[in-house]
Structure 1
Amino acid sequence: MIEMNVQGITLDPMTNMPIVVLKGKETDHVLPIWIGVFEANAIAMQLEGITRPRPMTHDLISSIIDSLNGYVEYIHIHDLKDNTYYAEITIRTSTSQVKIDSRPSDAINVALRSGAPIFVSEEVLEKSQLDTIDNDSSEDDLKDWLESIKPEDFGKQSSI
Structure 2
Amino acid sequence: MSLVKLTIKGISYSQTQNGAYALILNEVNGDRKLPIVIGAFEAQSIAIALEKEIKPPRPLTHDLFKSFADRFDIIVKQVIIHKLVDGVFYSSIICERDKIEEIIDARTSDAIALALRFYAPIFTYKNILDKAGVYLNTNPLESEIDDVNNDGVLSSPKTFGIEDVVSKGESYSQFTLEELYQKLDVAVQNEDYEKAVHIRDEISKKES
Q: TM-score, normalised by structure 2?
A: 0.64
Superposed CA RMSD in Å reads: 2.2
Rg larger in 1 or in 2?
2
- Aligned-pair distance for 1:65? 1.5
Residue of structure 2 in register with 1:10 after alignment: 12
Residue of structure 1 in register with 2:30 after alignment: 27
| 1:41 counterpart = 2:37 | no
- Aligned-pair distance for 1:94? 2.2
- Aligned-pair distance for 1:155? 5.2
Shift in CA distance, 12/123, structure 1 to aligned 2, threshold 3 Å? farther
Matches within 5 A, 1:1-160: 1-12=3-14, 14-16=16-18, 17-49=20-52, 50-129=54-133, 146=157, 153-154=160-161, 156-159=163-166, 160=194
Q: TM-score, normalised by structure 1?
A: 0.81
- Aligned-pair distance for 1:78? 0.5
CA–CA separation in structure 2 for the residues paired with 1:89 and 1:123: 19
CA–CA separation in structure 2 for the residues paired with 1:105 and 1:74: 14
Residue of structure 1 in register with 2:148 after alignment: none
- Counterpart of 1:18, as a letter, is Y
- Structure 2: gaps (5+ residues): 135-142, 145-153, 167-193, 195-208
**Which has the larger displacement, 117-126 or 73-82?**
117-126
Q: Which runs of 4+ in 1 moved over 4 A?
A: none
More strand by share: 1
More helix by share: 1
- Count residues in correspondence: 146
Residues 72, 92 of structure 1: 8 Å contact kept: yes
CA–CA separation in structure 2 for the residues paired with 1:155 and 1:58: 18
- Structure 1: gaps (5+ residues): 131-137
- Aligned-pair distance for 1:70? 2.1
Percent of aligned pairs with the same amino acid: 36
CA–CA separation in structure 1 for the residues paired with 2:162 and 2:69: 31
